[in-house]
Amino acid sequence: MIGKLKGLIDSYGEDYVILDVQGVGYQVHCSARTLQALPPPGEAAMLSIETYVREDQIKLFGFRSDMEREWFRLLQTVQGVGAKVALAVLSTLPPSDLANAIALRDKAAVARTPGVGPKVAERIVTELKDKTPAFGTVDPAVVHLSGALDENRAPRPVTDAISALVNLGYGQPQAAAAIAAASRNAGEKAETAQLIRLGLKELSK
């Protein structure tokens, strides 16, 4: 199995690069984000590789980092997500943003991927929510609150405060993060108006 390739960029295709490794040209399929980050032909590059062996073909997928490759594997553990969809998701969201979207149950962010509908986005954030916390940069309090909102367990003042911020034009994840911080500062007995005021202060930082 090939795990890594280092060589010179020979040429680019629509969704792949030809990497010349000591005279052998390897066709490596990559996300659009990875392809854009690679240097022009003739320059050196190194890619982490995922090798797919089928009865009729061997296919190589390339990534800028082992982390991106790990996400490629993780995404494909979700029902209905194959290599093509996994690459499309990674073309739309870098690994850190994907981890945050899953932590915050932000289905809309995942559904921005071409070819990924609401049902598949729902499965991605649901099935991967316990596998990805270590990859994210989101405050654990926000993750906890997002889970509570998703399962209708959040206190009424909190849900009302988030709704108020959303009505003011803030995105749901942004509003949830602000109210989570406000709730932590104000305590469990905070009223809706106080949470809104503190939440707006968080958003203005």
Q: Which domains does the chain have, with CATH numbers?
A: 4-63 (2.40.50.140), 66-128 (1.10.150.20), 140-204 (no CATH)
pLDDT of residue 105: 78
Is residue 41 over pLDDT 90?
Answer: yes
Average confidence score pLDDT of the chain: 84
- In which band, very low, low, confident or very high, does the pLDDT at 119 lie, cut at 50, 70 and 90? very high
What token pair was written down for 196? Answer: 């809104």
What token pair was written down for 12? Answer: 């680019």
Residue with tokens 């809309």: 108
Mean pLDDT across the stretch 2-29? 95
Mean pLDDT across the stretch 21-41? 94
Is residue 77 over pLDDT 70?
Answer: yes
Q: Which of 100, 164, 169 lies closest to 136, judged by CA?
A: 100
Q: Which residue has the higher pLDDT, 61 or 106?
A: 61
Among 45-59, 122-136, 166-180, top mean pLDDT goes to: 45-59
Coil, strand, or helix at residue 44?
strand
- In which band, very low, low, confident or very high, does the pLDDT at 145 lie, cut at 50, 70 and 90? low
What is the C-alpha end-to-end distance of the chain, expressed in Å?
A: 49
Q: Which residue has the higher pLDDT, 6 or 107?
A: 6
pLDDT of residue 184: 77
Least confident of 43-47, 84-88, 161-165: 161-165
pLDDT of residue 5: 95
Is residue 134 over pLDDT 80?
Answer: no
Distance of CA 203 to CAs 17, 89, 113, 166, 178, Å? 42, 28, 27, 12, 6
Mean pLDDT across the stretch 154-168? 85
The answer to whether the pTM exceeds 0.85 is no
